[in-house]
Amino acid sequence: MDDIEIEVLADPDLSEPTLIEGLPGVGHVGKLAVEHLLEEFDSEVVRRVYSTEFPPQVTITEGVADLASAEIHAVDVTGTEAGDRTDDEHETDDGSESDGESATVDEGDEGDGVDLLVLTGDHQAQTNAGHYRLTEAFLDVAEEFGVQQVFALGGVPTGELVEEPSVLGAVSDEAAIDRLKAAGVEFREDEPAGGVVGISGLLLGLGGRRGFDVGCLMGETSGYLVDPKSAQAVLVALEDAIGFEVSFESLEERADEMEEVVGKIQEMQNQQASVPTDDDLRYIG
Amino acid sequence: MDDIEIEVLADPDLSEPTLIEGLPGVGHVGKLAVEHLLEEFDSEVVRRVYSTEFPPQVTITEGVADLASAEIHAVDVTGTEAGDRTDDEHETDDGSESDGESATVDEGDEGDGVDLLVLTGDHQAQTNAGHYRLTEAFLDVAEEFGVQQVFALGGVPTGELVEEPSVLGAVSDEAAIDRLKAAGVEFREDEPAGGVVGISGLLLGLGGRRGFDVGCLMGETSGYLVDPKSAQAVLVALEDAIGFEVSFESLEERADEMEEVVGKIQEMQNQQASVPTDDDLRYIG
Amino acid sequence: MDDIEIEVLADPDLSEPTLIEGLPGVGHVGKLAVEHLLEEFDSEVVRRVYSTEFPPQVTITEGVADLASAEIHAVDVTGTEAGDRTDDEHETDDGSESDGESATVDEGDEGDGVDLLVLTGDHQAQTNAGHYRLTEAFLDVAEEFGVQQVFALGGVPTGELVEEPSVLGAVSDEAAIDRLKAAGVEFREDEPAGGVVGISGLLLGLGGRRGFDVGCLMGETSGYLVDPKSAQAVLVALEDAIGFEVSFESLEERADEMEEVVGKIQEMQNQQASVPTDDDLRYIG
Amino acid sequence: MDDIEIEVLADPDLSEPTLIEGLPGVGHVGKLAVEHLLEEFDSEVVRRVYSTEFPPQVTITEGVADLASAEIHAVDVTGTEAGDRTDDEHETDDGSESDGESATVDEGDEGDGVDLLVLTGDHQAQTNAGHYRLTEAFLDVAEEFGVQQVFALGGVPTGELVEEPSVLGAVSDEAAIDRLKAAGVEFREDEPAGGVVGISGLLLGLGGRRGFDVGCLMGETSGYLVDPKSAQAVLVALEDAIGFEVSFESLEERADEMEEVVGKIQEMQNQQASVPTDDDLRYIG
């Protein structure tokens, strides 16, 4: 195996697709957001990226092993009216493989809507250099499909629970700022203070240098919990920025469940009259 | 020295051998299991794999140094009736070198039983990428010998002492699940939760991608102790799956010794009326 | 992207320029010193060095991302009388890009003063080998511009607050010692005891081997605080060694602010009658 | 710079020299031993090995920087009667460079005694793979000089103060065991239990595979203190094994100084009626 190996699973003819990245990160905001897109819309896996930069690990689903990888899905949001759909009809497997029937990405129809390439997976790279190499590989795939616009989705940690999460933006080219502001994205001087790290950061940095129009949408989140509400805020901004509609029913249900969990934790805290440690809160979900 | 160097020590003509991997891991289950096979059956080392991915280390046996390596042994289980043998007759050196007399792998006889290639050693790789590279090297050797079926043996930690360890399975191809279930292997939804890591995991992941039929047999084990009982459970499942028989006398003796150790520790705990720490229990053996 | 990528932004015709390095390090002394030069003099970025050895990170300035890099600026200190200048006239952007008007490095005028190449950035390399590779890349750029003399600026930790910081020296060639002593630089037997590490150290080591005349100027500093006073001491020695003049007004203001911060911390300590921890003091700035 | 760069400083014509390695390690036993040889005998540096596997660091001696390296010295022990010499006459600089006068390795005289190549330096490699690569480079130099016999010197930790340190042996080829036993070296079954790590270990492992006759001499040492007494024990065994004589006066003085230090520490402990921590004892020297 080479350091990076790109497996070709399908080559649909997409119309200037937008690449949406949602790999694991703060509050799992980016990953929750793209998983929601994959649940709500028809999709098919077009590329699987294996790499010695991923952990030496397989995931086991019903006894069958899948080698650590990142996946790029073609998602058809053409003509979708998310509200008309039931969950059962459009659910696909959790990001691994969509069966033949539901993989109805319409290859011929190029005039009518929005084509997305959705990048997700279970891992960031395990070394500094690996982040660079994987990001270049993802951008190579994007180039192959004629992508011009890239959105990296993620969370920005605030250190406290956020009732109404804002969405912070960062871009590769300042010309995009006004367009994103119009979609409700906030731009603040020197925020996020620590910059953007990992593959989202390098999509901005390397993607920008290669001429892609890259935006990073970061939902405010405590940093302690998996945060579906922040993921929804990010998707709302993305809807506006790209022009598509998605139902948030299932994401809202998940956010409600999280609120309950948080409520119980806060109650316990009050009873104990003591401050909870980070460990109590970290990634309950 | 190259990053990986494969030393050829013998090239017996094996009949569709099965590769059995037992490198160090949880409870040393896999390593104990394959060491038991090497003790009970005639074998010869066919390949030694050196690598800059192993620690910069030699082991010293009676003053003589052996460079860190993994070894692949050809093991002849044809016509063996393990019960008839005495330990003295069939013991080989602890995995390093078998002398001329005992290395009686029968090269001509291909119709009569089961040929095994047994992979063991003292080390996993020391980097992520190293795990990938070493696993590919092991699969290269397997290919050279015409291996189609691979079993990775190991342990799955339960966090508590297990009276009757089950054997959990994971496979590269779901077609193998029923066959392994018939051999007493259990398959549970989304277990092991953390997937399978290290070289066992990559044998599943990379081996499956290269067309090998790979099964991983994981004996339940506390995770705190070297566990011969769990190793025996794994070997019992392997006997059924491949079709051979081995005597467990010496492994059972070792398990009895461990029970005594555990009993003494528990007694001490009760007297102290305090919970033992992990350190008290870790890898007593 | 290659492991190291050197972007060419300008190719001014410089007259035997001196390379001044000020990357992050103890007390941020080197970085403060070179940033002061970039604030006080006209400059333009001539090279930007990207590398997989830098963290996978972008910095965000007013919403726009910049990929982690080191930058080499051409700085024109010809005919400068630092005292005559107002801050407004000569301020450039914080090291990123100077606009067309202020980038008035005078390419034709080679007889009249001192040309500097100033190397700065936000990161050291992230691996041992990376430090070697980046330093070689910086020396390649230096060679291209005809550099013969190199100064690495930094701090040497004393563990306590220093009222009047001395400047310690280290050189690649002992012939330079007397010249630097004349500029007020101190040389002490076997100091600094731990040698010099990072890119400053390798500029001495690798630069010396390649025939550059390299001096390292290290301002004494507590090691706990960003230290503009130490940076000024280093620059005073550099002025003497190279022969140029710079106004220290803004650096002195910054030093005064630090003194105030330190004073407040000391007051608090006295009131609490307890020793402050390192964490109280670390890099307040 | 390449990953490893071997600088040629001299090419004396040596007669089947023996390579003696003494890099930093437990109790600095190996390094103290070879430094003593360099102090007592005439020597010249023949090779300097630079590598990106060493730390990015220079040492500073009287203001002048030396890039991290390992050095191989040719040492002439022909006809030496160590007792006749005064320290002043034969002292060379601390391993860095010997001046023209004292570098009197006799290139023509090949019949009359013992030629040594002494390998020392301030660093082990910083990565696993680096240990392998550096060891191969050292063996390349040894091959170039016609070396057949290699001795790696070091310490083996006992965890307590040792009054009369034994010297433990390990070899690449068991044929050497009797010869070393005759020189007072002890061989114990399965000791050292953890094997031998670092460059000493790989000289055994890789050197043995390349056909060198490699012995490792390990002086017992507490592991907490720089141990000149253990270094002397190792050198006494080496004298016997190779056939040369060296005065131990200066090493004995240093051992006496250490005894005093240890005595004071033990006194303090008794007064405090408390056990000293490892930190109290670690590498006082």
Q: For B132-191, what is each residue's pLDDT tens digit?
A: 999 999 999 999 999 999 999 999 999 998 889 999 999 999 999 999 999 999 999 888
When comparing pLDDT for C229 and A105, which is higher?
C229
* Higher pLDDT, residue A12 or D84: A12
- Measured between alpha carbons, how far is A12 from A45 in angstroms, rounded to an integer? 10
What is the Cα D201 distance to its own chain's centre? 13
Using DSSP's 3-state secondary structure scheme, residue C46 falls into strand
Nearest-CB residue to D205 (from B53, B67, B127) = B67
The pLDDT tens digits for D44-66 are: 999 999 999 999 999 999 999 99
Share of chain B above pLDDT 70, in %: 83
Span of A85-89, A118-122, A195-199, D35-39 with lowest mean pLDDT: A85-89
Name all chains with 3 or more CB-CB pairs below 8 Å to chain D: B, C
Least confident of A52-56, D20-24, D60-64, D264-268: D264-268
pLDDT in tens, C74-92: 998 864 443 333 334 333 4
Give me the pLDDT at residue B106, please.
43
Output the average pLDDT for chain B.
86
- pLDDT number for residue B41: 95
Does residue A251 surpass a pLDDT of 80?
yes
Q: What is the DSSP string of chain A?
A: --SEEEEE------SSPEEEE--S-GGGHHHHHHHHHHHHS-EEEEEEEEETTS-SEEEEETTEEEES-EEEEEEE-TT--GGG--HHHH---SSS---TTT----SS--SSS-EEEEEEES---SSHHHHHHHHHHHHHHHHHTT--EEEEEEEEE-SS--SS--EEEEESSGGGHHHHHHTT-B--TT-STT-EEHHHHHHHHHHHHTT-EEEEEEEEE-SSS--HHHHHHHHHHHIIIII-----HHHHHHHHHHHHHHHHHHHHHHHHTSPPPHHHHTT--
A154/chain C closest Cα distance in angstroms: 14
Please check whether residue D139 is in contact with residue D207, taking contact to mean a CB–CB distance below 8 angstroms.
yes
Q: Parallel, antiparallel, or unpaired for β C213-221 and C167-171?
A: antiparallel
Asked if A52's CB is within 8 angstroms of B132's CB, the reply is: yes
Instruction: Mark whether A and D touch (3+ CB pairs within 8 Å).
Output: no
Model confidence at A279: pLDDT above 80: no
How far is it, in rounded angstroms, from Cα C224 to Cα C265?
13
pLDDT digits (tens, 9 = 90+) for B103-140: 344 444 434 578 999 999 999 999 999 999 999 999 99
- Asked if the Cβ–Cβ distance from D58 to C131 is below 8 Å, we say no
Q: C11 and C19 in contact (C-beta within 8 Å)?
A: no
Q: What is the pLDDT of residue D190?
A: 82
Q: What is the model's pTM?
A: 0.85
Q: Which residues of chain B have a CB within 8 Å of the CB of D173?
A: 64
CB neighbours of residue A277 within 10 Å: 8
**pLDDT for D155:** 97
**Separation CA C75–CA C91 (nearest Å):** 13
Window 100-159 of A: residues touching B by CB (8 A cutoff) are: 126-127
Contact A64 B173 (CB under 8 A): yes
- In whole angstroms, what is the distance from residue D63 CA to residue C190 CA? 7
**Cross-chain residue pair C128–D53, CB shorter than 8 Å:** yes
Are A199 and C56 an interchain contact pair (Cβ–Cβ within 8 Å)? Answer: yes
Omega prior to C228 cis, within 30 of 0: no
Determine the pLDDT at residue A273. 59
Residues of C with CB below 8 A from A197's CB?
55-57
A170–C63 C-beta distance less than 8 A: yes
* Residues of chain B contacting D136 with CB distance shorter than 8 Å: 1
| B–C touching, 3+ CB–CB pairs within 8 Å | no
Rounded CA gap, C221 and C234, in Å? 11
Closest residue on chain C to A130 (Cα): C52
Residues counted in chain B: 285
> Quick one: pLDDT band at residue A79, thresholds 50, 70, 90?
very low
Residues of A in contact with C126 (CB under 8 A): 128
How far apart CA C174 and CA A120 sit, in angstroms, is 57
Q: What is the pLDDT of residues C205-237, one digit of tens each?
A: 999 999 999 999 999 999 988 999 999 999 999
Query: Stretch D217-242: mean pLDDT, rounded?
Result: 96
Q: By the CB < 8 Å criterion, does A97 face chain B?
A: no
Instruction: Name the residue with tokens 């602890």.
Output: B94
Shortest alpha-carbon distance between residue B214 and chain D (Å): 30
Residue D26's nearest CA partner among D281, D230, D223 is D223
Q: How far is A66 from chain B (nearest CA, A)?
A: 6
DSSP classification of residue C186:
B
Q: Are strands C196-197 and D57-61 parallel, antiparallel or unpaired?
A: antiparallel
Q: Which of residues 176-215 of C touch D (CB under 8 A)?
A: 177, 187-192, 195-199, 201-202, 204-206, 208-209, 214
Identity of the residue in B3, B53, B59 whose CB atom sits nearest the CB atom of D195: B59
- In the structure encoding, which two tokens stand for residue C210, read together? 């390649």
For residue B57, give the nearest of D195, D208, D209 by CB distance.
D195
CB atoms within 10 A of CB D194: 12
Sequence-ordered strand ranges (E) for chain C: 4-8, 18-21, 43-51, 57-61, 64-67, 70-76, 115-121, 149-157, 167-171, 196-197, 213-221
Cβ-based contacts of B48 with chain D (< 8 Å): none
Tokens of D192: 């050292």
Structure tokens at B66: 């052996």
Dihedral sign from CA coordinates of D88, D90, D92, D94: negative
D67 at B interface, C-beta within 8 A:
no
Return the residue matching tokens 């050189």: C171
Question: D232 φ, ψ to 5°?
Answer: -65, -40
Say if residue D277's pLDDT is above 70. Answer: no
Q: What is the DSSP letter of C51?
A: E
**Whole-number Å distance between alpha carbons of B39 and B100:** 16
